Chains A and B, each alone.
Chain A
């Protein structure tokens, strides 16, 4: 399968649950990203993994924890989320640090916290 694949596409979880979002890319890219897309807000960068280095947005709560075991796979571990965390979570990859040539996005995981 080509492109960036995210699973699951939809997730409903309670505030006390622990779940993980998965992303994989088969494009040979060397950087991967997690973005949050909420209604009426711009895309918000959460985490970047580039050449085994992690960069994070300091405003992201610790209940979100990323993991990047290799250049093709990226996870976002979720724990004790709040209803305001409900959003579309997008994974992206790029060739070259910071995606100067553009990002390839997955279809996203629509997360609802109840």
Chain B
């Protein structure tokens, strides 16, 4: 069982649709990060959230950290083909060292 479970594992949608992907755990995180990885490249940091209930927006992307800091979601509005990629969440377990743990990722494909 992974510390961070991401769902869905795969998602294929049409351009213009909205979507939400999830990152869940039974552990409390002191902070959580979201990355996007495009084919043939390394992950690129999108956002860091640290406060329970925090909401951050990055253009069409909205990130939310759960009130209990055990889960997070990423919502994309009006998806575009350029949003295609692997979305990874990564978190630090509170009071358990500073090692960053990654989820298995959600692979998103946006078709034109």
Contacts and interface: CB of A to CB of B under 8 A. Distances in A.
A107 B41 contact: yes
Contact of A4 (B42, B98, B101, B104): B42
A106 B48 contact: no
Interface in B69-112: 88, 90, 92, 98-105
A26 to B, nearest CB: 16
Interface of A: 4, 40-43, 45, 90, 92, 97-108
17 contacts: A40-B104, A42-B2, A42-B104, A43-B43, A43-B88, A43-B102, A45-B100, A90-B42, A92-B42, A97-B98, A98-B98, A98-B100, A101-B48, A102-B48, A106-B42, A107-B40, A108-B42
Interface string B1-15: 010100000000000
